[in-house]
Amino acid sequence: MGAVTLTPWGLTGDIRGSGYSFVPEDQDILAGATPSVFPRAAWEQIQNAGDTHPVEPQQCPLSPPTPSPVSPVSCERFQLADLRILDMQVEKMHVCMAGMDPPQATFRYVVHFPFPSFIDLAFEDSSLDDHGLFAQAKGPIATVSLPPTEQTEQDIATNKVDQQCA
């Protein structure tokens, strides 16, 4: 995060997202989420959750099912039609509680577009209102590239060896 100073007139400063604010799908958003205290999901987990053919979004019941290792994501909390939100974080937030200004926050989330595109796009939403709702996303901001995993690098190396042998 940035820094928030307790000025004589109230809290003032800037907050930066840590990048670890992914909301697990089994977290009850309706009850109010505290995203940053949850571990970030593995990319494999996200891919498994996102790389499916479009299906009718399944609405989460009020008591979410317990994720299993086989199917870690049972339902979607945030829905944009058939899309899945993979990653959510408050990227930056300006705070000034000393005046009448409400907190100004930029909320960024990564959306996975499933079959046939299989791309991930980032959107920004700075429309925080007095009720704490973000309701006007803008984007895409940038495409998201998955970081190479050790497995991938090993596969590449293996392929090179195979090509040399051939």
Partner 1 sequence: MGKAGSDIGYNLDALSVKINNASIIITPGTARAKIGVAVPVAFFSTRTTSNFLLASDSSPIVPDRSTNGIDFHGSASVSLKDSAYSVRIRPTDLQVVRAGPAFTGMGRQPDSGVKLQGVASRGTVELFSFIGTVLANAKSAGFTLDLGGASDVYPETNYRISLKKGRVSLKYVKAQLQDLYGSFTVNISLPPNVVDEQGQSIELLDVVLETDKSDALFGKITLARRLRMGQRFTLELATNGVFAYFPKWPFETGSSTYPDKHDCGTLSDIVRDPNRPGLTVLEGTLHFDAPQVKTASTQPSKI
Residues that bind partner 1 (CB under 8 A): 1, 3-13, 15, 29-37, 59, 77-81, 90, 93-99, 101-103, 125, 130-135, 137
CA distances from 52 to 24, 70, 76, 84, 115 (A): 18, 15, 13, 10, 7
Q: How far is the CB of 12 from partner 1 (least distance, A)?
A: 4
The gap between the terminal CA atoms of the chain, to the nearest Å, is: 52
Cβ proximity to partner 1: between 16 and 160 the closer is 16
107, 92 in Cβ contact below 8 A?
no
CA distances from 119 to 42, 82, 103, 111, 164 (A): 17, 13, 32, 8, 33
Cβ proximity to partner 1: between 132 and 148 the closer is 132
Cβ proximity to partner 1: between 33 and 141 the closer is 33
Going by the DSSP 8-state scheme, the letter that residue 70 receives in this structure is: S
Sign of the CA dihedral with 83 first, then 87, 92, and 95 last:
positive
Q: How far is the CB of 160 from partner 1 (least distance, A)?
A: 44
Q: How far is the CB of 66 from partner 1 (least distance, A)?
A: 21
Cβ proximity to partner 1: between 41 and 111 the closer is 111
Cβ proximity to partner 1: between 53 and 131 the closer is 131
Q: How far is the CB of 148 from partner 1 (least distance, A)?
A: 30
Find tokens 């089994």 and name the residue.
Answer: 26
Q: How far is the CB of 154 from partner 1 (least distance, A)?
A: 36
Q: What is the distance between the alpha carbons of residues 127 and 108, in angstroms, rounded to a whole number?
A: 11
